[in-house]
């Protein structure tokens, strides 16, 4: 499918173009700020769809709203009509389109031009009145609170919050791109005059955004991550990390060592325990304790290990051997004391997951020989 994308230097377009490049069957024709409007008739001549992202939202003069939003859209529609084909158009409008301000009026008039085009040609026009779109590659200190907060907080720069309780409706860039690709491929029916929405939207106050991003920053010190695996926190955390400068791509964590080896905590979670690793020199035994509720998973990634177990009531014993050559998870069982011994000739390295964050006041760890 040959697709004309306008506004190719913008935030949304950058993400969209990468996605279309990852998929088979798409050829992109680009219209950017360097492209002359007189080229539109040639550019649309053999395209099968248009994604119209070009627009003005921070002009030097209010008249640029008309030329950059309304007039450009009208010229695009004129070029499409002259092809004598019904070419579908996806348009990134704004929630401001229904408001009585210069920007909103220019977007509303652009919508009207597209609906007129649809009436003339029978083409489908998918008009998305987008709220605040956030994600990687959005320009900070411009018109996105999320981008500004992520950029500044990641760099230790100050942020300014005038109205922390103001709620923002947010759309994540990957969800928006997914929606545009779905429309391109499925061509769902849409009534003329009907606007479209991205299926997933989020709502957060300005203050909540700032405080959450600050927690992301501080997690490098606390080692405790938020629940960033799904939903809004997943999208916001990914966005925050995308603003890290290269010199902050890594960070150190505490290392505790003694004559046995070292112990390093890597990550703690809100409700799924923590991850760490430890080493042991040849002949060294670690452990020799039991838990009532805490459970653990061990993975030897280097060296050879003997795991010993003893049931604290019956004295039943069990042992098993594992090594880094053949990955095998070993679980500790409540009520069984356990230890691990390096039975190889080299340093042993073991990954460890515990189902709860270690609490020095309530360690649930009791010494008991194996």
To the query of whether residue 103 is one of the catalytic residues in this protein, the response is: yes
Bridge partners, 299 (sequence order): 329, 351
Helices (H), the chain: 11-22, 40-43, 63-65, 72-81, 102-121, 145-154, 173-186, 206-222, 231-242
Radius of gyration for the alpha carbons in the chain, expressed in angstroms and rounded: 29
Phi and psi (nearest 5°) for 309?
-135, 145
Q: How far is CA 334 from CA 72, 291, 300, 313, in A?
A: 69, 5, 21, 12
Q: How far is CA 274 from its chain centroid?
A: 22
Catalytic residue among 103, 117, 126, 243: 103
Tell me which DSSP letter residue 246 carries. G
Q: H/E element holding 24?
A: none
Spatial distance between the Cα atoms of 127 and 179, rounded to a whole number of angstroms: 12
Q: Among candidates 200, 196, 199, which has minimal Cα distance to 90?
A: 196
SS3 136: coil
Helices (H), 68-205: 72-81, 102-121, 145-154, 173-186
Query: What are the b/e assignments for 346-364, b being 16+ CB within 10 Å?
Result: eebbbbbbbbbeeeeeeee
Structure-block tokens of residue 42: 């040639």
Which residues are marked as active site? 103
């Amino acid at each position: 499918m040959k697709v004309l994308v306008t506004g190719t230097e913008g935030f949304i377009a950058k993400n969209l173009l990468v996605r279309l490049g990852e998929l088979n069957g798409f050829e992109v024709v680009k219209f950017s700020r360097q492209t002359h409007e007189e080229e539109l008739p040639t550019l649309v001549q053999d395209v099968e769809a248009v994604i119209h992202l070009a627009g003005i939202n921070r002009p030097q003069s209010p008249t640029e709203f008309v030329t950059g939003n309304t007039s450009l859209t009208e010229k695009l529609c004129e070029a499409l009509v002259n092809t004598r084909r019904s070419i579908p158009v996806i348009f990134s409008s704004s929630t401001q389109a229904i408001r009585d301000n210069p920007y909103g009026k220019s977007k509303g008039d652009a919508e009207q031009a597209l609906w007129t085009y649809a009436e003339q040609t029978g083409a489908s026009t998918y008009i998305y009145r987008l709220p605040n779109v956030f994600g990687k590659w959005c320009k900070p200190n411009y018109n996105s609170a999320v981008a500004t907060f992520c950029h500044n907080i990641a760099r230790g720069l100050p942020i300014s919050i005038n109205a922390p309780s103001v709620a923002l409706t947010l759309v994540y860039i990957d969800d928006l791109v997914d929606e545009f690709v779905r429309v391109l491929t499925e061509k769902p029916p849409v009534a003329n005059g009907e606007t479209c929405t991205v299926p997933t939207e989020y709502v957060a106050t300005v203050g909540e955004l700032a405080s959450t991003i600050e927690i992301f920053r501080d997690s490098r010190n606390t080692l405790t991550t938020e629940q960033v695996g799904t939903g809004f926190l997943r999208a916001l955390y990914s966005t925050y990390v995308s603003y890290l400068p290269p010199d902050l791509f890594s960070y150190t964590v505490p290392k505790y060592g003694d004559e046995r080896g070292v112990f390093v905590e890597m990550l703690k979670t809100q409700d799924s325990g923590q991850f760490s690793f430890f080493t042991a020199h040849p002949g060294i035994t670690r452990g020799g304790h039991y838990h009532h509720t805490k459970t653990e998973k061990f993975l030897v990634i280097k060296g050879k290990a003997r795991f010993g177990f003893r049931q604290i009531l019956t004295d039943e014993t069990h042992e098993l051997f594992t090594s880094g050559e053949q990955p095998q998870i070993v679980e500790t069982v409540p009520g069984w004391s356990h230890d691990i011994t390096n039975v190889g000739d080299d340093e042993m390295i073991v990954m460890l997951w515990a189902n709860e964050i270690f609490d020095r006041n309530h360690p649930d760890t009791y010494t008991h020989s194996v």
